[in-house]
Structure 1
Amino acid sequence: MISINDVAKRAGVAKSTVSKVLNNYSLVSDETRLKVEKAVKELGYVPNSVAISLSKKEFNRVGLIVDIRHNSQYVDEINMQYLTGAFEKAKEYHIEVVTFFSSQFDDMNYKQVTAYLKSQRINCLIIYNLSIENKNIYKIIEKQEFYCVLVDSCIINDKTSSVSIDHCCAQYDVAKKTLNENDYINRVLYIAGGEGGYITNQRLDAMKKLQEEYNFELLIRYGDFNEYKAREITIKNAKNINAIVCASDLMAIGAVFALTELDIYRPVCGFDGIRLMGYTKIAMNTVKQDFNQKSKRAFDELKTLLYGGKGQYVEIPYEVCKIDYMDVIQK
């Protein structure tokens, strides 16, 4: 069985140096780090993370970073599913977790964020819905300061995996189903999420592909996953279009309420599969995601990284379905 002593001998360094590299100490030269990593790979050494933790008198601690910038019950529902899945897996693996909100880091620079996380004994991160505003988090991922798993953000390196549905295919499928269920549609309003975001761009690609196939006029507006903004966009444009595709269920709810105010009908579809959507009492197509299972899979990927695996992309299944009032009321 390969030991840490074998790695030290192959790399030509002290055993303590190997330990520092395995535990991501910053005060190790790039040259030395590369020698140790090469020896680990050549020998097929898998570090005993529990033994390492005990030697440091601490265990792996996972930081869960969630984005609560959008003030709504919708965000609460999704984040609670994420956190519940993470807590269940943490209990299974006997690993401690600490929850952070991305807004906590808004006034910190990259070094301050890194130092703060390390001061909390964090060496692993699961990051949910990474926003383009989180520049410091992007840099942490780029520098590979921590083992990371990103949920719904496609960034991969040796220490970073991504867990996500195929947002392009999912948006295409739900929009196509909605168009096919309705008579002649030639002008579609697409209410996208946040401009410039990874998920937004993936879903926009789907709508542009569908536009080419169906030859309809596509009007794109950005609602920033906000119910009120979607309502305002719909009020302004509803009379000039004959279908509305929304990049979130929350925005679909805003669109439906606007149509009700205007006393006109337009087919509307959403994305995410949240229960709140059913309370509009108007059946709508959506993409249903299992956020609990997605979070659990992220934890599994984190365990793989901790035991020497390389970062990878993991695709999670989704379901296109219709949600109405009877689906969500409790008996």
Structure 2
Amino acid sequence: MITILDIAKMANVSRTTVSRVLNNSGYVSEEVRERVMKVIKETGYVPSQQAKSLRTKETKVIGVILPRISTETASKIVAGIDEVLSSEGYQILLATTNLQVEKEIEYLRLLVNRQVDGIIFVATNILPEVVKEIKQIKIPLIVVGQNMPEASSVYNDDYHAAKFLTEMFIHKGKKQIAYIGVSETDYAVGVERKRGYLDTLAEYEIEAQEKWIEIGSFETESGYQCMKKMIKNNETLPEAVFAATDRIAIGVMSFLKEKNIHIPEMISIASIGASDISQYVTPQLTTIDYENEKAGKAAAKLLLKNIKGETTKIEKIILSYRLREGNSI
């Protein structure tokens, strides 16, 4: 097995010089650098990552904490993260919490103990015990998906996206606009999207009616059941439904089709998420695209800035959105 000392002897230089060439640190003349690199290439020498880590105090590993590994949103965020970090020689270590706060805290501690160079935390809700844990972490950390005041965050403009969709319904002559959302424990999806909906109705002097508001979960079945409850409890249909997520919207559409309520002739549907499946339901769903891969890239780039010491302040990146028009309105 070739060692750094063997490389030094073959190149007729000191071990320190080889180390400087490998780490691109300290002065080494171009002639000596070329001589060392020639030996490295000829021998196929690969430096020990463990030894390199001890010298540079870097592991070249980034921890990524996800609420769920199986969702389309998570996979796109991870794809963006990996594209940026792999180009800089980093590997990612994935951990999934299954929406359990105890797991979030456990993995935050575990990754710190594993001495990763930084953490990207894809959050669904921000509970006090998690905030307390994050405030104690000394390595660079970026939160994705929620705006956490205590940490640098990359998040979507949920409030204005919700306003945009609600206003779009209004401009198309809809006034009886229903909303099906999720629990307020998820601030971005549960609070900000509902707030955007309610504020827009108020701006257009349209009364928000409790009969047209249902709160469920992220599952498709929840959209189905919420729509079923809304229809059962009211003699008339709303003119439109704003679903907080694509999954909810698809559940809504499933129930309406079952009851032979035609979309969009009898009721319009729109949502947020731009999931792949939203393009293949009939009618094709009108939805807001957050381009989640961009969120992953933005988070990774901001983390690298922190790791390299280019910034030490808390930064906020609010991502843009775009409408992907289908045939559901």
Say if 1:323 and 1:77 are closer, same or farther in 2 by CA, change over 3 A.
farther
Deviation string 1:53-93 (CA, Å, 9 cap, x unpaired) is: 44266424211111129xxxxx5222211111111111111
Give ranges in structure 1 of 5+ residues lacking alignment.
1-50, 70-74, 326-331
- Could you say which residue in structure 1 is the equivalent of 2:67? 67
Equivalent of 2:177 in 188, 191, 197: 188
- 1:52 is displaced (CA, Å) by 9.5
Do the aligned residues in 1 keep the contact of 2:104 with 2:130 (CA within 8 Å)? no
How many angstroms apart in 1 are the aligned matches of 2:225 and 2:176?
A: 18
How many angstroms apart in 2 are the aligned matches of 1:177 and 1:143?
A: 44
Deviation string 1:104-135 (CA, Å, 9 cap, x unpaired) is: 9655695x545422332224111113334x66
For the aligned residue pairs, the C-alpha RMSD in angstroms reads 2.6
- Could you say which residue in structure 2 is the equivalent of 1:205? 195
Say if 1:92 and 1:246 are closer, same or farther in 2 by CA, change over 3 A.
same
Question: 1:93-242 to 2 correspondence within 5 Å?
Answer: 93-103=88-98, 107=102, 110=105, 113-132=107-126, 136-157=129-150, 160-181=151-172, 183=173, 185-199=174-188, 200-214=190-204, 215-218=206-209, 219-238=212-231, 239-242=236-239
Q: Specify the code of the residue in structure 1 equivalent to 2:314.
A: G
- Could you say which residue in structure 2 is the equivalent of 1:261? 258
Identical pairs, percent: 19
SS at match of 1:280: coil
How many angstroms apart in 2 are the aligned matches of 1:64 and 1:87?
A: 10
Instruction: Calculate the TM-score normalised by the size of structure 1.
Output: 0.72
- 1:136 is displaced (CA, Å) by 4.9
How many angstroms apart in 2 are the aligned matches of 1:109 and 1:273?
A: 27
- Could you say which residue in structure 1 is the equivalent of 2:317? 314
Q: Specify the code of the residue in structure 1 equivalent to 2:318.
A: E
SS at match of 1:245: strand
- Could you say which residue in structure 1 is the equivalent of 2:277? 276
Q: Specify the code of the residue in structure 2 equivalent to 1:223.
A: G
Deviation string 1:166-224 (CA, Å, 9 cap, x unpaired) is: 1111111122113322x4x3322211123232212111211111111231434322122
Equivalent of 1:89 in 64, 84, 92: 84
Do the aligned residues in 1 keep the contact of 2:58 with 2:117 (CA within 8 Å)? no
Q: Specify the code of the residue in structure 1 equivalent to 2:193.
A: R
Range that drifts further, 249-258 or 117-126: 117-126
Instruction: Calculate the TM-score normalised by the size of structure 2.
Output: 0.72
- 1:293 is displaced (CA, Å) by 1.4
Q: Specify the code of the residue in structure 2 equivalent to 1:260.
A: K
Give the structure with higher Rg (CA). Answer: 2
SS at match of 1:103: coil
Say if 1:324 and 1:59 are closer, same or farther in 2 by CA, change over 3 A.
farther
Say if 1:114 and 1:197 are closer, same or farther in 2 by CA, change over 3 A.
closer
Do the aligned residues in 2 keep the contact of 1:113 with 1:136 (CA within 8 Å)? no
- 1:253 is displaced (CA, Å) by 0.6
Aligned length: 264
Do the aligned residues in 1 keep the contact of 2:67 with 2:124 (CA within 8 Å)? yes
Q: Which runs of 4+ in 1 moved over 6 A?
A: none
